[in-house]
Structure 1
């Protein structure tokens, strides 16, 4: 895969993108004093509680709590991953997205990357053309019709045909040495030991795989008779295709619905297409791999309800379990995960052909909740009549429950576990490591002096220079002091930083969520009083550190004794604290 996007580029991008223009172009904003307002695009509301600040380059909804910078908005609104959001923003400014190189690989420009997608689209068009014009097209079209696929559906999914000849595509698109190499690099052509090149896909029904932005990034090819080799042949991974991150049919499903109320996960391309043919146009499929954590994250960004559809045999149950494990960390409030297991010998394609849309969707309405699937699996692995079995069930279940971010869902799972093993809910809750009490405290969000100092600094980075930078305070052990110093240092090193840029620097850190809250905390301090308030808050924190150090040394003096350097430090601290006390009085 490509290297990381340099931090400097992300900073520059956020400096050049105006979040007000960005959001106004998508949902429309109205001026409201110094800021801008709209009804929140992330939840239903009648009066606007969604605010955008041009000064901070930050948005915040007082209704649902959604907030962030321009990158965050594009990720949430357009349902894109981080890198895709960066590329989307960069494209609006006609910028190339650079990558840090770890292997000495040559840097690819935006034009070169664009040419990859253009070549993939040209390939898709070639296959579509062959479906209609190839000498074998009548036979292939008859197969498509026999599978119950109409011309309209085939067109919607850009279904095509890869000719049986060795190098039809290679000859058609490989007009130069550069294009020939590009075909090999994108795994549209292979090269053997004799350096002869030939098409990767031959004599197969072709399914273009599109990313979240609708660009063709890979292909799946299906045989049309049993004696043609593996049923499905998928594109290998390339510089633009990483199968663990992509879902077949997701782009088409999003195009069919303004908002996807639910998404159905199935196993094959034909399942997705056959369901769409019957009007069930919200199905997706993993690309020749098990459902990954990245797939689940993408789906729960897209919808509130995910239904997994698998065979009822052992392999199907195992696949369901892997999907469930990957989904648990994304089951936040309001998210639903359900499972449908099909009769033996059936798949979604065959079943929807037999029973039609209404009967198939009735199965979806009766889908099993993830909690049932979880405990069916766990209880089947232990002897529930023995204490040892119940103990094993508890030790297996608690780490899984611990992954669930919703305290409501955790309570439900704990209630079920308590019934199985005969424990009280309180006994089980104590064994969870998820800090549910801490989550409750964070929701109430008590503003301490340290949080106030960090919050003011995040919202007004220019304040960093108004107090001394004292890295030695980190040794004092005051909660939050290390984060304060890191934020201050970043502001001092980047004097022109906005809130959006500062916030972005912490995206992949454990402090991200707390800074996200602080970035939208309404401090209600008038602009002319900001510097004085910040200085006073910092002085309070500094006093805390000095007092703690003074008390620690005095305690050590009573128990172990002090070195001459430490005695000198105590004397200096005593003088400093007295002076501070006098000046404050």
Structure 2
């Protein structure tokens, strides 16, 4: 169903965002906004702001951002249309009627939902009857309590070709076939798909039954049988237990992906309710996107055997092209030969939590897998490792994440295989044989005290701000660290606040529109001065050039800008401490800080040189 932008704008305008969010999140007035602890990640100091005038919320800690509809879909876990309907009802608006085809599809889906719920009720009744004894024994052997069986809707399909068909005959064979409950073979009577199996309902995010998984009771293949794809059920887009795990994950700030139904159920029975499972296949792109809507770093917890580790690595490779800043995967590995149920039975929930806390980042999993894939005794084998790592990083679409993976893989490779670098001596260490060491001249006291007060290098800050105006889409990615620019006073500080405010209000804002709005807001002079900065020696301040290079260089400049004041201040303190009382420890601390400061200066010089090279040689030189 398509809704007009005008209707959605009216819906947002009639919704008090602070009142909506305030129902579940404690907010307090902060000037023209409201603030509170972010509901999307655990924090003690409020960094979550709600602006009723502009109709959006934003967290400066985890970058969660959206309007009233986004709040309902991300925080409440509702589908888009359900969110719109609930907000419209509260606002006194009528949702526009769907077109005829949409209405027909909705009516068809309603009928199929009725069929699936009727089937679930019938299977549950069979589990409690005489025919369900063997299924009940299986649940008892697996340690599934009666309360858990009721909560998850376990049932039983008798070993019969027609009992379900007879029980649900009022729906008609055609609808039962469409729902995946009967199998239709040309020229023959349709018959029950599930026979002699423990039945596990599969639900959509709203808790409605859309499919079933059936586990064989005795011997036979396949061990698990899922419903086929239907108008209600798309196996590659569905996660088992999502309806129960979504609210649990918001409280726990994590979501755990396990291998199968029974793993998720065992975790829930042990008090770990935020677990989901794919449905007999490797994780798909659609399932990964759904997980990332819940948390930034889903945790995959697969068996420690070869099959489990192979599945984890497939998920790692599939996630690579979709990575974004802050969005990744983590891995926890169960002991070989054990599933969650085995581990919980032998060691209790605490043993499971120990495994879940021993996480491995995605980059570690990829590095270890490639490093251990084959021997690395010869130059050719080591070159093969380097090529495989490069190929992995090249799959990442997002430029800054790709750059970080390339740098990380390069660092790990050098640490393991490169010869140790020759030690460089600082000026403090260069002295003649027999010459007694003397401390460097004491810094001017006033200068030393001014280091922290001076804060960010204003020249670099101007370059960064020029880069942000030329590339407004980068502002949200760096929101947390850019908070330090608020220390800048005068026109620069006011311009920064205006740029950030405008970029957050309109995520699609381009540079030309941003400059136009700034000019109309009284920032014409200072913004124009910055944008004459083709003379600044950085790729991100230029009016033309490689956008990917500019984005990577802007990331680096921001990192240097934020780190430099802290290094300078620490160096002043270290020097003062060494002058007060010389010790080897104090000397080593000062030398380390001098090296760190030199490294930052070299990184900044490299940014300038890279831009000069690009100008000299053109696109190919880049």
TM-score scaled by structure 2?
0.61
After TM superposition, give the deviation of residue 369 of structure 1 in Å: 4.6
Alpha-carbon distance in structure 2 between the residues aligned to 1:38 and 1:361: 29
Aligned CA distance change for structure 1 residues 332 and 534 (closer, same or farther; 3 Å): closer
Moved more, 213-222 or 266-275: 266-275
After TM superposition, give the deviation of residue 205 of structure 1 in Å: 0.5
User: Which position in structure 1 is the counterpart of 2:137?
Assistant: 142
After TM superposition, give the deviation of residue 29 of structure 1 in Å: 5.4
After TM superposition, give the deviation of residue 129 of structure 1 in Å: 1.8
Alpha-carbon distance in structure 1 between the residues aligned to 2:159 and 2:390: 54
After TM superposition, give the deviation of residue 223 of structure 1 in Å: 0.5
User: Which position in structure 1 is the counterpart of 2:180?
Assistant: 187
**Aligned mate of 1:166, from 161, 165, 174:** 161
After TM superposition, give the deviation of residue 150 of structure 1 in Å: 1.1
Aligned CA distance change for structure 1 residues 121 and 393 (closer, same or farther; 3 Å): same
1:309 maps onto 2:304 in alignment = no
Task: Give the secondary-structure state (helix, strand or coil) at the position aligned to 1:309.
Answer: strand
User: Which position in structure 2 is the counterpart of 1:156?
Assistant: 151
Aligned CA distance change for structure 1 residues 384 and 209 (closer, same or farther; 3 Å): same
Tell me if the contact between 2:123 and 2:157 (Cα under 8 Å) persists in the aligned partners: yes
After TM superposition, give the deviation of residue 136 of structure 1 in Å: 0.7
CA RMSD in angstroms, aligned pairs only? 4.7
1:56 maps onto 2:49 in alignment = no
Tell me if the contact between 1:333 and 1:408 (Cα under 8 Å) persists in the aligned partners: no
Alpha-carbon distance in structure 1 between the residues aligned to 2:355 and 2:47: 39
Query: Higher RCO, 1 or 2 (CA under 8 Å, sep at least 6)?
Result: 1
Tell me if the contact between 2:165 and 2:191 (Cα under 8 Å) persists in the aligned partners: yes
User: Which position in structure 1 is the counterpart of 2:205?
Assistant: 212
User: Which position in structure 2 is the counterpart of 1:69?
Assistant: 67
Aligned CA distance change for structure 1 residues 334 and 193 (closer, same or farther; 3 Å): closer
Corresponding pairs, count? 457
After TM superposition, give the deviation of residue 153 of structure 1 in Å: 1.2
User: Which position in structure 1 is the counterpart of 2:195?
Assistant: 202
TM-score scaled by structure 1?
0.64
After TM superposition, give the deviation of residue 330 of structure 1 in Å: 4.1
Aligned CA distance change for structure 1 residues 62 and 22 (closer, same or farther; 3 Å): same
Alpha-carbon distance in structure 2 between the residues aligned to 1:326 and 1:279: 30
User: Which position in structure 2 is the counterpart of 1:466?
Assistant: none
User: Which position in structure 2 is the counterpart of 1:567?
Assistant: none
User: Which position in structure 1 is the counterpart of 2:330?
Assistant: 337
Aligned CA distance change for structure 1 residues 338 and 11 (closer, same or farther; 3 Å): farther
Alpha-carbon distance in structure 1 between the residues aligned to 2:274 and 2:117: 23
**Aligned mate of 2:123, from 114, 127, 135:** 127
After TM superposition, give the deviation of residue 338 of structure 1 in Å: 1.7
After TM superposition, give the deviation of residue 321 of structure 1 in Å: 0.9
Alpha-carbon distance in structure 1 between the residues aligned to 2:193 and 2:272: 32
Alpha-carbon distance in structure 2 between the residues aligned to 1:97 and 1:238: 27
Alpha-carbon distance in structure 2 between the residues aligned to 1:167 and 1:110: 29
**Structure 1 spans left out of the alignment, 5+ residues:** 426-439, 456-498, 504-511, 545-585
Aligned CA distance change for structure 1 residues 263 and 536 (closer, same or farther; 3 Å): closer
Moved more, 324-333 or 184-193: 324-333
**Structure 2 spans left out of the alignment, 5+ residues:** 422-459, 476-501, 534-622
User: Which position in structure 1 is the counterpart of 2:602?
Assistant: none
Alpha-carbon distance in structure 2 between the residues aligned to 1:212 and 1:46: 30
1:40 maps onto 2:32 in alignment = no
Moved more, 394-403 or 211-220: 394-403
Deviations along 1:218-249, whole A, 9 cap, x unmatched? 1100010013x311100111222222222213
Tell me if the contact between 2:237 and 2:287 (Cα under 8 Å) persists in the aligned partners: yes
After TM superposition, give the deviation of residue 195 of structure 1 in Å: 5.7
Deviations along 1:299-321, whole A, 9 cap, x unmatched? 34334554433344443332121
The correspondence of residues 308-457 of structure 1 with structure 2, limited to 5 A, is 308-328=300-320, 329-330=322-323, 332-333=325-326, 337-344=330-337, 346-366=338-358, 368-401=360-393, 403=396, 412-422=408-418, 446=466
